[in-house]
Amino acid sequence: SFDDGFPNLFINNAHDIRGQHVAFLASFSSPAVIFEQLSVIYNLPRLFVASFTLVLPFFPTGSFERMEEEGDVATAFTMARILSNIPISRGGPTSIVIYDIHALQERFYFGDHVLPLFETGIPLLKQRLHQLSDADKIVVAFPDDGAWKRFHKLLDHFPTVICTKVREGDKRIVRLKEGNPTGCHVVIVDDLVQSGGTLIECQKVLFDNGAAKVSAYVTHGVFPKRSWERFTQKNNRSEKGFAYFWITDSCPQTVKAVENTAPFEVLSLAGSIANALQI
């Protein structure tokens, strides 16, 4: 960095990537690191590369995708516009690989000068579930209708439970909407977790309705302010903690924090990313 705090950037051996298929693995984990990465991302296609792909596993502004009242700023749209202006390379528009973007309509926020590829981490979950000793007793639960719309077609060979959030005064209460978790290992599936409050309330409802075990899967374990600590066995001394909590490595700062900490298991996106990069 320069003395004023702005980044001092240089791409080593820039001549060596001429004519190569180039990919940039980005992590927009905080606003502070986005500018320096964008500066490099905008420069790489101009170095006479054969093609350019941006891999951004977690689209961090995805949960701020709409206006609910005048004055709201949909920062997901802002980020999509910024990425849509990445220069074209010799091979044409930039490809952008994103996993489980928060709202499906956000794919329409990207302009015609980039090619977004929307992938999912659900195949990693399915592979892990088939390895469990109680794989025949798995029921998939969705914490709300939004999660069901997103993922039910990818998990349609599992029995399902759908929860719903209702308002009671100033509180949001999770209730069982449909399905039967009795005696089963129920796995709550969603795209991301922040504080984890909804997952905990959903877990309580599932146990109250007879679930034998409850686990959770989210593609993006954001967990600001170390909120993942709410789910550790140390903070859930009763038998009714989460049996497993699966996340992918889309948020590397979380992966580092929860390493070797039960009930967390990290499912790596590396193989899926490698497949997406095949030219």
Task: Write the pLDDT tens digit of every residue in 174-215.
Answer: 899 999 999 999 999 999 999 999 999 999 999 999 999 999
Q: How far apart are CA 214 and CA 265, in angstroms?
A: 15
Report, as an integer, the average pLDDT of 130-147: 94
Q: Which CATH class is domain 21-119?
A: alpha beta
Are 21-119 and 121-268 equal in CATH topology? yes
Distance CA 105, CA 110 (A): 10
The residue-averaged pLDDT of 105-133 equals: 94
In this prediction the pTM is 0.91
Q: How much is the pLDDT for 272?
A: 96
Strand order in the sheet with 114-119: 21-25, 51-55, 94-99, 114-119
Mean pLDDT of 84-106: 93
Residue 238 confidence (pLDDT): 53
Residue 79 has pLDDT above 70, yes or no: yes
Q: Name the token pair of 52.
A: 């350019």
**What DSSP line would sit under 81-135, residue for residue?**
HHHHTPPPBTTBSEEEEEES-SSGGGGGGS-TTEEEEEE-SHHHHHHHHHTSTTG
CATH fold, domain 121-268, is Rossmann fold (3.40.50)
Where are the domains positioned within the chain? Answer: 21-119, 121-268
pLDDT reading at 146 higher than 70: yes
Instruction: Pull the structure tokens for residue 201.
Output: 């309330």
Average pLDDT over residues 65-84: 88
Average pLDDT over residues 72-79: 90
Pairing verdict, β 21-25 and 185-193? unpaired
The pLDDT of residue 90: 93
